[in-house]
Chains A and B, each alone.
Chain A
Amino acid sequence: MISVADLLINNRVPGNFFAPDVYVRGDLEVGLLENRQGDRLLAIPETLIQAIYSGLATETGQAASLVLFNCGKWWGKSFYTRFSEQVGGYYSQPIANLPMVEFLQALQECWMAHGWGKIALDQSYQQQGFLIVKGWNSAFARLAPRKNQPVCHLEAGVLSAFFSQLTGKDLHCIQTSCESMGADCNRFLLGIAPRLAPVEAMAATQDHDAIMSQLCP
Chain B
Amino acid sequence: MLMPVPMPSRLMIFLAYLISLLLSIFLLCVLKIMHPQIASVFDEAENRYLKPDEIKLIGQYVASMPERLDTYRNLRDREPEIMQAVVDQLEAEFPQESEENLERCLKNALLMLRYCGLSLLVNDETIVQHRFLDWVKPLSQAYETKAVDSKLYRLLNQQLSKALSPKQMGYLSPSLSLAQDGLLSQTAKR
Considering the complex, give the chain B residue whose CB is closest to the CB of A20.
B130
Asked if A126 is at the interface of the complex by the 8 Å CB criterion, the answer is: no
Asked if B181 is at the interface of the complex by the 8 Å CB criterion, the answer is: no
B99 touches A2 (CB 8 A): yes
Bound complex: CA A114 to CA B91 (Å): 40
Question: Taking the nearest CB of chain B, how far is it from the CB of A69, in angstroms?
Answer: 31
Bound complex: CA A68 to CA B59 (Å): 57
Bound complex: CA A22 to CA B118 (Å): 14
Could you say which residues of chain A place their CB within 8 Å of the CB of B130?
19-21
A5 touches B135 (CB 8 A): no
B83 touches A4 (CB 8 A): yes
B91 touches A102 (CB 8 A): no
Of the residues A13, A21, A101, contact of B142 by C-beta under 8 Å = A101
B139 touches A105 (CB 8 A): yes
Could you say which residues of chain A place their CB within 8 Å of the CB of B110?
4, 7-8, 13
Main secondary structure of the interface of A (DSSP, over half): helix
Residue-wise, chain B 43-64 has the 8 Å CB interface mask toward A (1 for contact) of 0000000000000000000000
A19 touches B103 (CB 8 A): no
Bound complex: CA A139 to CA B79 (Å): 44
Residue-wise, chain B 89-120 has the 8 Å CB interface mask toward A (1 for contact) of 00100000001001100110011001100000
- A15-B99 contact, Cβ under 8 Å, with A5-B80, A7-B110: no
Asked if B138 is at the interface of the complex by the 8 Å CB criterion, the answer is: yes
B111 touches A15 (CB 8 A): yes
Could you say which residues of chain B place their CB within 8 Å of the CB of A16?
131, 134-135
Question: Taking the nearest CB of chain A, how far is it from the CB of B144, in angstroms?
Answer: 11
Could you say which residues of chain A place their CB within 8 Å of the CB of B161?
none
Considering the complex, give the chain B residue whose CB is closest to the CB of A1.
B91
Indicate the size class of the contact surface on chain B. 20 to 34
Bound complex: CA A122 to CA B46 (Å): 52
Of the residues A2, A4, A101, contact of B139 by C-beta under 8 Å = A101
A105 touches B135 (CB 8 A): yes
B131 touches A4 (CB 8 A): no
Could you say which residues of chain A place their CB within 8 Å of the CB of B114?
13
Asked if B132 is at the interface of the complex by the 8 Å CB criterion, the answer is: yes
Bound complex: CA A189 to CA B111 (Å): 36
- A residues 149-197 in Cβ contact with B at 8 Å: none
Residue-wise, chain A 80-109 has the 8 Å CB interface mask toward B (1 for contact) of 000000000000000000000110010001
Question: Taking the nearest CB of chain B, how far is it from the CB of A104, in angstroms?
Answer: 9
- A2-B135 contact, Cβ under 8 Å, with A7-B107, A8-B110: no
Question: Taking the nearest CB of chain A, how far is it from the CB of B9, in angstroms?
Answer: 38
Could you say which residues of chain B place their CB within 8 Å of the CB of A20?
130
- A4-B87 contact, Cβ under 8 Å, with A13-B110, A101-B139, A101-B142: yes
Bound complex: CA A19 to CA B79 (Å): 24
Asked if B150 is at the interface of the complex by the 8 Å CB criterion, the answer is: no
Asked if A3 is at the interface of the complex by the 8 Å CB criterion, the answer is: yes
Question: Taking the nearest CB of chain A, how far is it from the CB of B112, in angstroms?
Answer: 9
Question: Taking the nearest CB of chain B, how far is it from the CB of A22, in angstroms?
Answer: 7
A4 touches B80 (CB 8 A): yes
Asked if B143 is at the interface of the complex by the 8 Å CB criterion, the answer is: yes
B84 touches A19 (CB 8 A): no
Question: Taking the nearest CB of chain A, how far is it from the CB of B91, in angstroms?
Answer: 6
Bound complex: CA A89 to CA B113 (Å): 23
Bound complex: CA A102 to CA B106 (Å): 16
Could you say which residues of chain A place their CB within 8 Å of the CB of B107?
7, 13
- A residues 3-49 in Cβ contact with B at 8 Å: 3-5, 7-8, 13, 15-16, 19-22
By Cβ-Cβ distance, the 7 closest A-B pairs, closest first, are: A16-B135, A4-B83, A13-B110, A101-B142, A13-B111, A19-B131, A4-B84
Mark B residues whose CB is within 8 Å of A.
Answer: 79-80, 83-84, 87, 91, 99, 102-103, 106-107, 110-111, 114-115, 130-132, 134-136, 138-139, 142-143
